[in-house]
Amino acid sequence: MALTYLWAGFFIVGFLAALGQWIFLGDTEVFKKIVDGTFESAKVGVMDIALPLAGVMTLWLGILNVGEKAGFIGTIAKVIAPFFSRIFPDVPKNHPATGHMVMNFSANFLGLDNAATPFGLKAMESLQSLNPVKDTASNAQIMFLVLQTAGLTLIPLTVMAQRAVLGAQDPSDIFIPTLIATYAGTLVAFLALSFKQRINILDPVIFAWLGGMTLFILGIVWYFSHYLTRTEIQQVSKVASNLVLFGIIVLFLVGGLVKKINVYEAFIEGAKGGIQTSLMIIPYLVGMLVAISVLRNSGVLGMIVNGFTWLFTQMGFNTDFTPSLPTALMKSVSGSGARAMMIDAMKTYGVDSFVGRLVSILQGSSDTTLYIIALYFGSVGITKTRYAVGFGLLADLAGVIAAIWVAYLFFH
């Protein structure tokens, strides 16, 4: 119901804001702008997202099926099983869902967005097979989804590329701050969900995995900052990401051939689900994107930012960060909207300004919570999201606070 109220609320609040602008400011174009935006968003949802996603889904679901038949998914599941069996207690050991989730988290961590989405949708489908109430999100699905929305990413390639296009002197200078911010959001989300679902984080296995991942993150940060120049960081990131992506495809195919599997038939079998999944998510995508468009074009976000600026001024805080809040607020609801706001801020204030760098960190520090909820839950027909939205937004909030903090630390 939370998603239902939120979705309807976007339309209601947007209408009231537009009505106020028409009555009190005489803005006769506001309703036309909103209506035009709804048509454009509906078109984007189908033509620019769902249909291109169909091709990507077809490819990666086929490859994933080859890897599953070759035994790779099962092997990965066995390695990670001790940790996942504790944070996903409702998922049986060696269940395919474990391997699918690992592949999804790995792809996200390396910034491989196109690969992460098919893996994530496959993971949600696997978890749905264990879900006793098909229209209601299970604890395991919520844990997976919230960790997904936290968006733990090692290399924010798209953000660095955009900074380079706009002429940043050092496009990758936001690498370490972004890594710190995204890890903070993920850790907060996991700890909060563990408390909610009564998962013992002091369990030796969980504690060891969390400690190991923390040390791994710190080790990467230390290596990149001490042994590579900024240019080398970007070059190594691009090569490593694409090498891993193509390496996964080749590894799955070679493994299938070694086990004497008809890899082409296995690919076709898995690929058939790509179109079906893409068609299924269209209503959910269009509904959410249109609602976001209403909120954006009605000027509600601008009002919220002005309110925050006044509030922080009254509290005596430095308000240099407030121009970045539209990106922070939009990030939870629309990735494309947040990207557009990030670019606008960098053009307005300068790509190497404090605001320009802060919006870059914000863009890379979390994923698009409401979009992911609509996409992933919509793909398996879940309409009752329980507490997923609240905890997903909590992860976003932690990422935003951490991003602002590290931006002041590094660049102010």
Select from 341, 336, 330, 347 the least CA-distant residue to 400. Answer: 330
- CB atoms near residue 318 (< 10 Å): 10
Looking at residue 384, the DSSP 8-state letter turns out to be B
pLDDT of residue 111: 56
Residue whose structure tokens are 């900074």: 163
pLDDT of residue 131: 94
pLDDT of residue 3: 62
pLDDT of residue 80: 77
pLDDT of residue 251: 92
pLDDT of residue 337: 67
pLDDT of residue 355: 93
Compute mean pLDDT per 10 residues along the chain, 412 residues long, and list them.
74 92 88 91 79 77 84 76 87 84 76 70 92 93 89 73 82 83 88 93 91 82 74 69 79 93 91 76 79 83 80 88 86 73 84 93 83 86 90 89 88 82
Select from 374, 300, 283, 281 the least CA-distant residue to 10. Answer: 300
Q: How many CA atoms lie within 13 A of 188 on its CB side?
A: 24
pLDDT of residue 237: 63
Q: pTM (2 decimals)?
A: 0.73
pLDDT of residue 115: 64
Q: What are phi and psi of 384, to 5 degrees?
A: -105, 105
DSSP letters for 317-383: ---TTGGGHHHHHHHTT-HHHHHHHHHHHHHHH-TTSHHHHHHHHHHHHS--HHHHHHHHHHHTT--
392 within 8 A of 371, measured Cβ to Cβ = no
Q: What angle do CA 362, 363, 364 make, to 5 degrees?
A: 90
